[in-house]
Amino acid sequence: MKKYLLITMLLLSTAFKYDARAIDDGDVFIPIAKYMEAGDADKLSVWFADNLQIDVMGNINNCTRNQAKLIMRNFFTNYTPKEFKIMHKSGRPPMNYAVANLDAGGSQFRVIIFVKTVEGRNEILQIKIEAQ
């Protein structure tokens, strides 16, 4: 009996799994900023579109989500984030963007993030990181 109850609970919990990228009344850039500041490429990559553009200091890559995760992980390894502060947000659905300052590894960077709403979910289409 306990076995069947456990299986039922597991099935129900996966059936109602929360999608962090789903549209809600919150600010899409709050969790993205949190993961940028933490240097967490794995959690940040959940927000990536299947294919996106990553521009790190002029090195432009059109890549898959997994490739982008590796690029961001490498960046965070070389430049450990201390502070990520969004300075400006704008746009209209389905496209929004944010401009932020990143203090990482003793260097200052300007970060521009483009997010598009696709089929009810928010996805990062582009991240541009440039030295200041």
What 3-state class would DSSP assign to 100? strand
What proportion of the chain, given as a percentage, has pLDDT over 90? 76
Cα dihedral across residues 40, 42, 48, 51: positive or negative: positive
Taking alpha carbons only, the member of 109, 1, 116 closest to residue 55 is 109
Tell me if 28 is assigned to some domain.
yes
- Establish if 13 belongs to a structural domain: no
Range of the domain at 108: 24-131
Residue with tokens 């990062």: 124
For residues 12-32, average pLDDT: 62
pLDDT-derived band at 21, boundaries 50, 70, 90:
low
pLDDT value of residue 93: 85
Model's pTM, two decimal places? 0.81
Classify residue 64: in a domain, yes or no. Answer: yes
Residue 96 lies in a domain: yes
Supply the CATH number for residue 33's domain: 3.10.450.50
17 domain-assigned: no
Q: How far apart are CA 52 and CA 95, in angstroms?
A: 14
Structure tokens at 107: 């260097």
Number of domains observed in the structure of the chain: 1
12 within domain boundaries = no
